[in-house]
Amino acid sequence: MAKMGKLLGGHYQFIKVLGFGELGQTYLAADVRVPTHPKCVIKQIKLPTKNLNTLKFILSFLTKKAKILEKLGKHPQIPQMLSYFAQEQDFYLVQEFIPGEALTAELLPSQPMTETQVISLFQDVLDILVFVHKYGAIHRCIKPSNIIRRQSDGKLILTDLGIVKEVSSQMLNPSGKLEQTRATEAYVYIPAEQSQGKLQFNSDIYALGIVGIQALTGLSTNELANLKRTSESMGKTIVWRDRTPVSSELAALIDKMIDIDPQQRYQTAAAVLADLQKILNSNTVTASSSPPNSAPLNSVSQPLITGKNWFQHSQLIASASADKKLVLNGNKNNNNNCRIPSLILTTTGAIIVSASLVFGSQLSRTLLAEFSFNQGKTQEQAGETQEAIEHYTKAIQLQPINSTAYFRRGMVYSSLGSYESALADLTEAIQLNPNDAQAYYQRGNIRLHIGDRQGGKTDYTQAIQLQPNLTVAYINRGKIEADLGNDSEAVRNYTQAIELNPYQADAYLHRCLSRSNLGNQRTAIDDCTQAINLRPNHSLAYQNRGLARHRRGDIRGAIEDYNVAIQLNPDKAEPFYHRGLARQELGDNEGAIADYTQAIERNPNHALVYYHQALAHIELNNQQQAIQDLQQATQLCLNQNRLTCYKDAQDQLNQLESE
C-alpha cells in the first residue's frame, strides 16, 4: 500500500499503520463502500516473485489459507474474515476490527492477577483453541498483544491467527525453521520445537501457559525471557513457582502446559479444560487474596448431585444450613434453640423428598437414554445409518454427558463421509471423557483422511499415551511421519507396532517403504517379504518390494513384483506407473508409455505420470506429445501445490519450447 491516497481493493481507505513484519504491514482502514464507514484491519502480504506461474502457485496457496480463516471467523471470539484479494503484487486479508484493549494493558509488572482471573483467562482462550484446532489450524503466535478484551462485552478475542507466519515459513524459508528473531516478546512465548520448525498443536498450549505465568507472577517480558533462558540452558522446563504463591493444582497444570518436551505437554486444549474444571470442582482456588474467613456467610458451595451420593449430600446441605442458623442466632443459652433440631429434621426431610423426585426423574431419563443408545447400535449394525443417527441423537438429548453416544454417532457420520460432523462428535466425546483412547484414535483417522496430518499425529500420540498397546495407532502415526519426510521416526513407530504384534502385516509393509526411502534396501525387501508371507494377496507389498528392488538395481526383479501387484489389483494406477519407470530405465520407452497410458486411465490427475511420459516421448523424438504432457504435468503440479514437481515440469517445458 505504497500509495496511501489510493483506495485499496476499490473501497478500503487507509487510516494508519498498526504494525509491520517481514512480509508486509498491518493497517487500520475504513470501508467507504458502506455508509457508516466501518473500520477493518488489513494485513498485507508482499508476494516475493514476479514470475507469473510461480505467482499463480503462491496465490492458490494463500487463497486456501484465507478460506480456512473464513471458517475460523465464524467463532464469536475470532475476528471475522471480511475479504481477501490480490492487488499490485501484494495479497491482502481484510478482517473485522475489534474495539477493545489488548491483554498487555492488564498484565502490569508487579501487579499479578488472582488464580481465578487466570483460570478464567485460560478457559476463554482454550475454548477458542479447541475450535481452531478442530479445523486443523494452529495459531502460532499466542501472546498478550494478540488477546483482545472486547469493549462491548468484556470477552477475550483471539486475533492474528498465524497465516502470515505460515506463509513466511512456506515461501521464504523452505526448511520450515523460524529465522532468528530480535524480539524478546516472540522468544518468550514460542516453544523450542516451534523455533526449530516442528510446530505442533500443543505449541499453542505452551504459549498460553507462559501468558498464565506472566499473569500470576507480574513478571515483565524481559524478566520472563531471562527466566526462560536460564531454565532452557539447563535443559529444564521454566522454574517459576518460587515467584508467586499459587495452589499446587494450578501450578502443576501450568507446568504441564509449558513442559519443554512436547510429548509430555498437554496434547489438546480440551484436556487442559478438563483439568481446569477438576480444579474448580475441588474448590482449591480462591477468587481474591482475602483471608478465607472473610467469605460471606451465605456463600455455601453446592457441588453437582449425582448418582448414589445424593442422599449423603442432602444431609451435608441440611447440616450446613443448621450450622449457619446457630451462628446467626449467636446466643447458646437462648431458649429458642430447643426448636432447632426439629427445624433441621424438617429441612432434611424436605431435601430428601426433593432429591428423591429429582433422582427418580434422572433415573428414568437414564434408562430412556440407554434404550435409545442400544437401538442406535442395532440400527448401525444393520446398516441403517440414518436411523442409527436419530437414535444416538435421542440418547444425547436425554443424557448430554453420554460420551459413548457422541462417539458412536461420530463413527456413523464418518462412514457416511460427513467428516465435519464426525469430528465435532468425536471432539465432544473426548471433552466428556478425556481418557477415551479409541476416540482419539478414530479422530486421528479422520484427520489423516482429510489431510490434517499434524492433527492426526497429535491424536494418535494421545491415544498411545492412554493405551500403550494400541498397535494401529503406532502404524498410523508412522504413516504420518513418513508423509512428513521423517522416515527414521516412522520406522521407530512401525517397529514398536511389530514388537507389540509380530503378525501385523501393515507394519512390515510400511516399514519396508520407509527403510527403502532411507536407503536400506536389503532390510526393506525383507520387511515386504514378511508382509507378503503374512498376507499373500497384498498387492501393495509386492509394489513396495518392487520399488526396493528397483532402487537396489534389480530392475527385472522389480518388474516381476509389479506384474504380480497388477494381477492382484488391476484397478490401481501406481503399479503401472512404477513398472513404466522400470521399463523406461531399461530403455523400453514404448513399453513405458503403454504403462503410463494405463496409469492415466486409472488416475487422470497423476501429475508424475505425465511428467515421466513426456520424458519417454522426448527420447522417442515425439516433441509435440512431450510438450502436451509437460503442460498437463505443470498444471496438475500447480493445482496440487507440488512446487518441486511444478518447477521440474516448467524447466523441461521451457527447454523444449525454446528449441
Summarised one tens digit per residue, pLDDT across range 444-494 is: 999 999 989 999 999 999 999 999 989 999 999 999 999 999 999 999 999
3-class DSSP state for residue 39? strand
Where are the chain's structural domains? 12-96, 100-281, 321-398, 401-452, 469-570, 584-659
What pLDDT score does 510 carry? Answer: 96
The verdict on domain 401-452 having CATH code 3.40.50.300 is no
What pLDDT score does 284 carry? Answer: 54
Residues in the chain with pLDDT < 50?
A: 1-4, 172-182, 286-361, 363
Radius of gyration of the chain measured on its C-alpha atoms = 31
Alpha-carbon gap, residue 139 to 153, rounded angstroms: 23
Model pTM greater than 0.75?
A: no
3-class DSSP state for residue 84? strand
Q: Which amino acid is at 519?
A: G
Q: Which amino acid is at 655?
A: Q
Fold of 100-281: Transferase(Phosphotransferase); domain 1 (1.10.510)
For domain 584-659, give its CATH number from 1.25.40.10, 2.60.40.420, 1.20.1250.20, 1.20.1260.10: 1.25.40.10
Backbone CA torsion sign across 112, 116, 117, 123: positive
User: Measured in whole angstroms, how far is the alpha carbon of residue 60 from the centre of its chain?
Assistant: 22
What pLDDT score does 170 carry? Answer: 53
For domain 12-96, give its CATH number from 3.90.550.10, 3.30.200.20, 3.30.70.100, 3.90.105.10: 3.30.200.20
Alpha-carbon gap, residue 614 to 633, rounded angstroms: 9
CATH number of 469-570: 1.25.40.10
> Is the separation of the CB atoms in 414 and 251 below 8 Å?
no
What pLDDT score does 136 carry? Answer: 83
* Burial class for 51, CB neighbours closer than 10 Å (0-12, 13-18, 19+): exposed
Decide whether 12-96 matches 584-659 in CATH topology. Answer: no
Q: In what order do the strands lie in the sheet with 147-150?
A: 100-102, 147-150, 156-158
